[in-house]
Amino acid sequence: MGGGPGARSARGASPRDVATPDGSGGRRFEFDSPADAQRLDTLVAQEGGLSRTQAATLIATGAVTVEGRRERASYRPRRGERVAVQVPPPVGRDIVPESVPLRIAYEDAWLLVVDKPAGMVVHPAPGHWSGTLVNALMGRAGGAGRPGEADRAGLVHRLDKETSGLLLVAKTDESHRRLTAALAQRRIRRRYVALAWGHLDEDHLTVDRPIGRDPRDRKRMAIVSNGRPARTDFVRLARFDSVDLLAARLLTGRTHQIRVHLASVGHPVVGDDTYGGGGGRRLVALPPHRHFLHAAWLRLEHPMTDQLLDVRSPLPAELRASLAAVSDDGGSWSSGPDLTGDALDDVGFYRIDD
């Protein structure tokens, strides 16, 4: 699922990534100072997902400006002042193209759709400099990355490490521009399947709650009043003894959106250690370090030909096995899933109207 760091702006603005002016790489983001002004180094750390030391170093080296001027780390920005941060690329950490097998669900001259396995990190980062999806894309014959943006490799949106499924990748600058615009205009439909603990009160649920960086733990996201708008539509596909099988449609693309929204209504994703759903794995036959969330369906108009693309990813084997385990305990899916085909067909996942 795609999105950047959460916001703390009094006006509802949020940190947004902007292009680096010289194409040298790294990351540049901007945000408006909140009403409850804090030290500049604290704000930069929270909004950028950085450590306090990293933030202080950026400020000291002039990589942070407030309304275009340099300030000390102890400066407390006034409400609404624009803070711009330039994070340089990691020194000595060139992204190395690697020959990593990928499952490609669709490909043509302008784009491809990767079916990402659980456990694969999308972007290189400390602790994961190799074996990532970006490494694999850069190492493919013919390449998928765009000049000057090896760190993104044409990715249009993102998926969490332990979330499997479909990811859209542009192969040209023009297709990337058009796909990014289509995503922002909600013309790309992304549907996920999730197993959630407990039971929804109704078969349909819309969660419309803003998401931002958790002020108590910068590695987590949370529902925060001044976060970025986030909306997810959920439809119950099947009800079992202790879990619901859900279809989730993203109306926005915030970091960890589905996981945070389900946890916020008391029904965390099964196997989600970060947001309270990690217990009881044996009850659902789920492997360690795996949550039950899969990007199963992607629909869009081709950015260059206007052809309707309908790309599907059946449940991975470990999720099919988990679904079989919960269906054995009884529930609305009395006949059990079809483990020889696409189990999602059995519950009408592809027939839900948007």
Q: What's the domain count of the chain?
A: 3
CATH number at residue 50: 3.10.290.10
Strand 111-116 and strand 221-223: pairing? unpaired
Q: Letter for the amino acid at 281?
A: R
Cβ-Cβ contacts under 8 Å for 61 (sequence gap 6 or more)? none
Residue range 272-284, pLDDT digits in tens? 999 999 989 888 9
Q: With 90 as the cut, is the pLDDT of residue 189 above it?
A: yes
Whole-angstrom distance between the N-terminal and C-terminal Cα of the chain? 18
- Answer yes or no: are the C-beta atoms of 42 and 2 closer than 8 Å: no
pLDDT above 90 covers a percentage of the chain that reads 55
- Answer yes or no: are the C-beta atoms of 139 and 192 closer than 8 Å: no
- Cα distances from 254 to residues 184, 221, 286, in angstroms, run 12, 9, 26
Does the residue 2 lie in any domain? no
- Answer yes or no: are the C-beta atoms of 300 and 203 closer than 8 Å: no
Regarding whether 162 and 283 lie in a shared domain, the answer is no
Q: With 70 as the cut, is the pLDDT of residue 267 above it?
A: yes
Distance, CA of 200 to CA of 141 (rounded, Å)? 46
Predicted TM-score (pTM) of the model is 0.75
Regarding whether 202 and 342 lie in a shared domain, the answer is yes
Does the residue 207 lie in any domain? yes
- Answer yes or no: are the C-beta atoms of 1 and 157 closer than 8 Å: yes
Q: With 90 as the cut, is the pLDDT of residue 139 above it?
A: no
Regarding whether 202 and 175 lie in a shared domain, the answer is no
Q: With 50 as the cut, is the pLDDT of residue 65 above it?
A: yes
**Boundary-marking domain end, from 133, 158, 184:** 184
Regarding whether 233 and 123 lie in a shared domain, the answer is no
Q: Kindly state the tokens that stand for 261.
A: 């929204």
- Which residue among the candidates 115, 151, 160, 214 is catalytic per the annotation? 160
Q: Letter for the amino acid at 90?
A: P
pLDDT number for residue 232: 98
Regarding whether 193 and 286 lie in a shared domain, the answer is yes
In three-state form (DSSP H/G/I as H, E/B as E, the rest C), the secondary structure along the chain is CCCCCCCCCCCCCCCEEECCCCCCCCEEEEEECCCCCCCHHHHHHHHHCCCHHHHHHHHHCCCEEECCECCCCCCCCCCCCEEEEEECCCCCCCCCCCCCCCCEEEECCCEEEEEECCCCCCCCECCECCCCHHHHHHHCCCCCCCCCCCCCCCECCCCCCCCEEEEEEECCHHHHHHHHHHHHCCCCEEEEEEEEECCCCCCEEEEECCEEECCCCCCCEEECCCCECCEEEEEEEEEECCEEEEEEEECCCCCCHHHHHHHHCCCCECCCCCCCCCCCHHHHCCCCCCCCEEEEEEEEECCCCCCEEEEECCCCHHHHHHHHHHHHCCECCCCCCCCCCCHHHHHCHHHCCC
Q: Is 160 a catalytic residue?
A: yes
Residue range 115-125, pLDDT digits in tens? 999 999 998 77
Query: Side by side, which strands form the sheet with 27-32?
Result: 16-18, 27-32, 82-87, 64-66
Regarding whether 76 and 110 lie in a shared domain, the answer is no
Residue range 77-117, pLDDT digits in tens? 988 899 999 988 665 567 788 889 999 999 999 999 999 99
- The model's confidence at residue 219, banded by pLDDT at 50, 70 and 90, is confident
Regarding whether 200 and 166 lie in a shared domain, the answer is no
Closest C-alpha to 139, from 153, 160, 157: 153
CATH number at residue 130: 3.30.2350.10
Task: Name the residue range of residue 38's domain.
Answer: 16-87
Regarding whether 138 and 70 lie in a shared domain, the answer is no
Task: Name residue 164's beta-bridge partners.
Answer: 294
Regarding whether 121 and 42 lie in a shared domain, the answer is no
Residue range 44-67: mean pLDDT, rounded: 87
Residue range 137-163: mean pLDDT, rounded: 73
Residue range 63-87: mean pLDDT, rounded: 91
